[in-house]
Each structure stands twice: as C-alpha cells, then as structure tokens.
Amino acid sequence: MKYYYWIALAALVFLLCYTLANKDTIIMEHLTSATSGPMTGLTGPAPASPEGITGATGPAGDDSEVAALASKLTALQQEVEDMKKQSKDQMSQASAAQASLQALT
C-alpha cells in the first residue's frame, strides 16, 4: 500500500523533469496549435488583411467618430493632468508634515 505513494511521487518527479527539459518545445506547441494545428515548422500566424481595418481609410462617416474619440482623449488627458497636480500637491503636503514632525523630535 505504501508503494503507491512512491510510484505517484516518481511519476510526478518524472513529469516535472520532462516539462523543465522540454519547456520551449511545449510552449511553442501550445502557441501554434491554437491557431494552425500541430507544429510542423512551416506554420505561423495568418498575414493581416486590410479589410477589417477602419479609420482614415474606412467608409464615410468616420470623421464624426474620430472627432468624438479626439474629444474623449482630450478629456482623459485633462483628467490625467489634474491627477498629476493633485499627486504633487499631496506630496508637498506630506513633505511639509514630515518636516514638521522632524522639527518636533
């Protein structure tokens, strides 16, 4: 009965050693098998096609979408700038508090 534990431990150690020894092969096999089947050495990702790309070359009416995205981007940039300013203000307050604590000791 106690030999089953040793057999299970030996199998686990074998699998661990096998995985460590062949990690690159295993990783490459998993990366390629999801998109193109078994690894043959000649497979790879499919080339990009311009059909799904929208934007400046897309259909008419994209100008309003671009303008809306530009305004959202401007608003987000302003929020980031405000957050940076608040952070700097808090840092200066923390420095002043630390200096006043050091002055007390």
Dist CA 68 CA 49 (whole Å): 26
28's CB contacts (< 8 A; 6+ apart) are 39
Buried b / exposed e over 31-50, threshold 16 CB at 10 Å, is ebeeeeeeeeeeeeeeeeee
Q: Find the angle CA(53)-CA(61)-CA(74) to the nearest 5 degrees.
A: 80
Number of neighbours of residue 62 by Cβ within 10 angstroms? 14
Which residue type, as a one-letter code, is found at position 24?
D
Q: What is the pLDDT of residues 22-70, one digit of tens each?
A: 888 888 877 776 555 555 555 556 666 656 555 555 555 578 888 888 8
- Reported pTM: 0.38
Dist CA 5 CA 90 (whole Å): 59
Domain map of the chain by residue range?
Answer: 1-40, 62-105
